[in-house]
Structure 1
Amino acid sequence: VSHDLRNPLSVIRASMEMARLKDDTTPLARGERAVDRIDQLVTELLTLARQGSGIDEPTEFTLDGVVRDAWGTAGSPDATLLVDADARVRGDRGRLRQAFENLFRNCIEHGTQDGSAAPTDLTVAVAATESGFLVADDGPGVDPAHRERVFEPGVTTREDGTGYGLDIVREIVESHGWEVTLRDDAVDMGDVAREDTGVDGERAPDAGDEVDGACFEVRAPGPEAAAEADLWIDQ
């Protein structure tokens, strides 16, 4: 089914690229965005369909490493990544990387008030905690009217959104025996991330710089659950 969907999408994209060389590019750009949205939707639906197979054999790896790998795939050159994640993790590295990729895409796609363009000064921070880790940004935050439904499948506030990115995150986290929540409180970015991994000269936010952007927290639901979970943090 995925091949049947993606093959015509590839033909459409190639045809539009050829037409771009000969005609007005405005309608072509709209068409390309529509094709990209369909392609992303297919990818996310396939990911959700595979979640039922469980996780691969857990392995041990560094949280910092999987964060950087995910940013290399899903990050934006217009955004800065800050990392304070010097911890070791045991879990399904491929699935956890996918969760970070979806969290990063969510931060970047919602980094402006109206979601109309990629943010040019967004900071995304990742930090290990005693019971898991945080992913936060200094964007406009999540509309209070949608906070309770952000992890529901198909829920999105963007016209070109699929609404499955955070649902995938939830499925991956829960398959490891952990839980993910959207925090209500403002985040002190200086505490969340102290190591600057962005462009030389960029500064990490100072301690006390509270922001009201989105902050997702992944953690074990309790000490007993943490001992039995397939994902754990060792600092």
Structure 2
Amino acid sequence: MADSRTVIYVAVTSDAAASGAVALEAAGDGLDVEPATPDDVDYAAGMADCIVFAETPTTADGAALLDVIDDADDTPVVLFTEDSFEPAVARATDGIAGYVRRDASDATTHLADEIAWVCSGSSAPEADRSTASAPRHRRAAEHLASDYASLAKTLADRTGERDRLDDARTHLHDRLERTADQRDRFRAAFDATPEPACAYAVESTGSAIVTAVNDTFRATFGIGSGAAVDRPVTDVFDAAGIDVDGDRFRSALDPRRSDRDVVASGRNAGGPGVDREPPGDRGGGASIDGSVPDGVVAPGRRREVMLSGRYETDEGIRTYDVTVVPSGSDTDDSGPAVGLVVCADVTERRRAERELASRTHRLETIGDVLDDVRDPLSVARGYLEVAEETGDPEHFAEIDAAHEELREAVDHLGRLVGRDAVVVSREAVDLHDLARRAWADVETTDASLDLGPGARLEADSDQLRDAFERLFAAATARTGTDESGGQSVDVDHEPNPDDAIVVSVGATDDGFYVASSAADGNPFAGQVGARDGTDPRRDAERVAAAHGWRVGVAESREGTAIAFRGVDVERES
């Protein structure tokens, strides 16, 4: 068996090199043939005994012949070509050790014989062949060492990259688990919130979209997740019947809007019943940051914004503090803005506050009455001492007058104290409807009722209607001047169409009014200002105090008006 020889079969394409290597290895005895392309020769030449270049030099594919010869160095090159490249030209080319025509019969067998002859070195001694092959073996070893180092570095890089990817995957997995845990805890806390709440996210268009509502929201407002989720927050509140100022609400939901500065304090700046509550003044003991200077949400920071809302039920109107709680900063563009809207029912608290204000006002008034008692008491005591000395009847008359003042003061004090026993049963009241019903129960002669701006409010309809009837009776009574200079009721007065009295009822920003066009004095003042001898203004003050309101009177040439102030009204548009 002949010595084994390593041959590199070079072709332009890998497929051609592979098929040629297989054919040559089958034709030659003891040949170990490896396929290669011209780019691989530099690396493979050091390990080969012979290189076969299987392309025709005169073609485009054979243009790499000289590069192959340079890379082969001392390794012999056999040209396996078509007959278009003459043998004489091939032998005249430096670096070509053998020539075989590829189109001849048994060309592969002839190629194997040519390789054997070239590699034998024309019967060169074994020692000479070993000496000649030593440089090739050295270069092969250098190539192997270089390739080993390169492969080792590539392996290390890929191993390090794999380890980094594994670490990153583990980190992301841990973060995902933590995020899922936080989401579950938030969901549990959100569902357990005792106040109606909805979560939202702001889309790129600036619209705040509901992402969830809690059980309390569904139970209170009668709108479930299916009807709320994926809808704008403002639409959901409208559908639920919660009346909140729309512009302020939208600005509070997304502080990144160009009009994000939200007026968070002041009264009725954007509509009825929209107020900013003081910090920490929330129902249910909850607190709010509320550190908004000058009533404005500062740019660059997101703050809780509280608005007033109303919700009408079968039992009446409920008042809510609607708190918008955005998250993060309005300069943070890392993701969509999200937040919560929490609705706290403060109806009972507001009522208690009004009742407390009413009681405080009565206590202050009692103090004033006590001051009024001291003066006539001192007068009576002084005249009593003089009367005991002189017996003059005039002194007794002064004492009697002082006692009359004392009696009036004591009666007033009794009325003030009696107000604490007044029970106010509030319900939703329409101002116009109440005025019409009270007007129908009063003898108004030739007077007419003029209804101004309408409104809805919460009040004891029976007490308020009774106060209206007394005010209407006083406003439509024809009065004159009695002998003492006071007002008296003229029951025999013949009506004159030219001076017919007009009684007006209407709403204001903070309450409502009853006005009379009667120009002959104040029809609401004094006990003789009404047909039944009562004082309509005192009655109005009593009803107002029981509700926590205030009463004021204004007079002009056009008539007199009595105004109820401090009333939480919902004006009709």
- Tell me the TM-score normalised to structure 2 length: 0.23
Give identity over the alignment, percent: 22
Shift of 1:54: 1.8
In structure 2, stretches of 5+ residues that fail to align are: 1-414, 482-487
Mapped pair 1:116 → 2:116: no
2:540 to 166, 169, 177: 169
| Mapping of residues 63-212 of structure 1, within 5 Å | 63-110=431-478, 115-117=489-491, 119-120=495-496, 121-142=500-521, 150=525, 155-156=527-528, 162-186=533-557, 211=558
Deviations 1:198-221 (A, max 9, x none): xxxxxxxxxxxxx1x12111111x
2:445 touches 2:476 (CA, 8 Å); kept in 1?
A: no
Secondary structure of the structure 2 residue equivalent to 1:214: strand
RMSD of Structure 2 on Structure 1 (CA): 3.0
* Number of equivalenced pairs: 145
Counterparts in 2 of 1:141 and 1:124: CA distance versus 1, 3 Å: same
Deviations 1:124-178 (A, max 9, x none): 11111111111111112436xx99xx36xxx4368x7624332212101111111
Shift of 1:59: 0.5
Matches of 2:472 and 2:463 in 1, distance apart?
Answer: 14
Shift of 1:123: 0.9
Deviations 1:57-108 (A, max 9, x none): 2111211110001001114141111001421010101111011111101101
Equivalent position amino acid for 1:156 in 2: V
2:501 touches 2:517 (CA, 8 Å); kept in 1?
A: yes
1:58 touches 1:91 (CA, 8 Å); kept in 2?
A: yes
Matches of 2:509 and 2:464 in 1, distance apart?
Answer: 18
Secondary structure of the structure 2 residue equivalent to 1:183: strand
Secondary structure of the structure 2 residue equivalent to 1:133: strand
Counterparts in 2 of 1:232 and 1:107: CA distance versus 1, 3 Å: same
Deviations 1:8-39 (A, max 9, x none): xxxxxxxxxxxxxxxxxxxxxxxxxxxxxxxx
Matches of 2:506 and 2:459 in 1, distance apart?
Answer: 17
Matches of 1:138 and 1:173 in 2, distance apart?
Answer: 23
Counterparts in 2 of 1:88 and 1:215: CA distance versus 1, 3 Å: same
Matches of 1:122 and 1:182 in 2, distance apart?
Answer: 18
1:86 touches 1:128 (CA, 8 Å); kept in 2?
A: yes
Secondary structure of the structure 2 residue equivalent to 1:232: coil
1:83 touches 1:127 (CA, 8 Å); kept in 2?
A: yes
**Which residue of the partner structure matches residue 61 of structure 2?**
none
Counterparts in 2 of 1:51 and 1:102: CA distance versus 1, 3 Å: farther
Counterparts in 2 of 1:157 and 1:90: CA distance versus 1, 3 Å: closer
Secondary structure of the structure 2 residue equivalent to 1:139: coil
The higher relative CO (CA closer than 8 Å, separation ≥ 6) is in 1
Matches of 1:94 and 1:107 in 2, distance apart?
Answer: 20
Matches of 2:438 and 2:549 in 1, distance apart?
Answer: 20
Matches of 1:112 and 1:75 in 2, distance apart?
Answer: 18
In structure 1, stretches of 5+ residues that fail to align are: 1-47, 187-210, 221-230
**Which residue of the partner structure matches residue 233 of structure 1?**
569
Equivalent position amino acid for 1:89 in 2: L
**Which residue of the partner structure matches residue 218 of structure 1?**
564
